[in-house]
Each structure stands twice: as structure tokens, then as C-alpha cells.
Amino acid sequence: MSGMSNQYKKLLKENQALKKQIIELKAVDAKRLEAEKLLSVQRDIAVSLGSTNDLTDVLDQILEATFRTNGIDCGGVHLADKERGGFTLVSHKRLSRRFIDRISFYTADSPQAIRAKSGKPIYGFYPDIFLVSDEELKKDNLCGAAIVPVDYLGELVAILNLVSKTYDEIPGNTRTAVEAIAAQIGGVITRVRVEEERERLIKELKDALEKVKTLSGLLPICANCKF
């Protein structure tokens, strides 16, 4: 009996060791899959954003990329507004009108803007980050949230506002993913905004030249001015 008991204990110990190995292998595989998914998202962003000069399209694609990460369900992108000195909500997806109205513009001294200017992402419970009441929280049905700054050459060019409807806290692997996305898009946003500004200035110049031509054709020429 003693021999059988020892054999049984040995088998139990071996089974426990096997279970531990299986758990560890599953964890490693899960991390590998997350890494592959992130690489896929980053590759898709690079390809899609490199082929468009439309700012709205760029921001929409950025949001869609964040939705491919674990737990991010809705969000918006604020761009630095140099004229008003704050940050304007330019693109958003899956947000209620109530939420959109609340975050449509961040003044330069707003808590959200100040946090973003620190250069560090902010994660937490939605009402704590966006300063909403319990009643508003119930209406929006939102949980975890993130404010992720987007920098380019040391300048804050945009803010990602991301929200989860399933997690009270944005998961660690998702934080890694959205921060990697934020690090990738600062230059793209800046390039597209500069190109749009250039196109606007060229159009203004052409319009001004057309007006000059029109006016020169209408002005009478005196006899002494003719050659």
C-alpha cells in the first residue's frame, strides 16, 4: 500500500508540473499573439497612412487601428489648435452626442490638456479622467479610459481619448499597443497638416492672382499711360 501511495503522490506531482508548464506555454503563446497583432496593426497603419493626404481619413484610420486592440471600444482624436490655444476634437467614433459635446474642445488649462502636456499617458476609470457625474456615467455606459499624448519632435500635436465599455482599467497589453500607435502617428499627422496648409495657401495665392488679373482688365488706361 505504501508503494502505491508513493506512486500516486509522484503522479500527482508530475501532473501538477505538467499543468504549470501548460499554463506557462499558454501565457507565452498569448504574448506572442499580442506581439504579432501589434506588429500587424503598426504595419497596416504605415501602409494606409502613407497613401493618403486627407487629415480626416488619417484620423479615422488611427481610431480604427486602436479598436483592434483589446478592450478599446470608442474614442476620439484632438488636434492642437494654435489659433485658439487648446485642442479641438477633429475625429471621433462610436461616441454619444453627449460625450462629444463634453469633450469637443479642451482649453489649454483644462485638466485633460495639462495631463497630456506632461507627455505621459493617463489611464483610469472613465469618470475620474473625464470628470463626469455618476448620473452621466450611467447614461454613457463607459468604464476604463485613457488620454494618450501624441508628440512630434518634442511638440504635443494631438491627444488620443480612448474608452472601454468592458474594462474598468485599460489592460496592460492594450496600453503597450496604443502607446506604440501614438509614437508612430505624430509625424504622419504633422506631415498631413502641413500639406493641407500648403494646399490652402496655394489656393489663396491663385485666387488673389485671379482677382488682380480681373481688376487689371477693368481699370481704364489713360492716354498718357499708353506706350
Confidence band, pLDDT 50/70/90 cuts, at residue 196: confident
The lowest-confidence range among 20-24, 79-83, 202-206 is 20-24
Cell of 126: 472613465
Q: What is the mean pLDDT of residues 199-221?
A: 75
| pTM assigned to the model | 0.72
Q: What value does the mean pLDDT take over residues 133-145?
A: 75
What pLDDT does 214 receive?
75
Judged against a pLDDT cut of 90, whether residue 61 lies above it is answered with no
SS3 of 125, please?
A: strand
Q: What integer pLDDT is reported at residue 23 of this predicted model?
A: 75
d(CA 3, CA 13): 15
* CA atoms of 143 and 162, how far apart (whole Å): 11
User: What per-residue confidence (pLDDT) applies to 54?
Assistant: 83
Q: Which residues sit opposite 92 in a β-bridge? A: 76
Decide which of 1 and 114 is more confident: 114
Average pLDDT over residues 151-163: 93
> How confident is the model at residue 27, as a pLDDT?
64
Mean pLDDT for all residues in the chain: 81
13 or 35, greater pLDDT: 13
* Residue 207 reports pLDDT greater than 70: yes
What is the per-residue pLDDT for 33?
61
Convert the pLDDT of each residue in 77-135 to its tens digit: 999 998 888 999 999 999 888 888 888 999 999 988 888 888 899 999 888 888 776 66
% the chain with pLDDT above 90: 25
Strand positions, DSSP E, the chain: 74-81, 86-93, 105-106, 122-125, 144-152, 155-163
- pLDDT confidence of 227, banded at 50, 70, 90? very low
Whether residue 24 is predicted with pLDDT greater than 50 in this model: the reply is yes
Distances in Å between the alpha carbon of 14 and those of 20, 24, 46? 10, 15, 48
CATH 3.30.450.40 fits 26-202, yes or no: yes
Q: Is the pLDDT of residue 45 over 70?
A: no
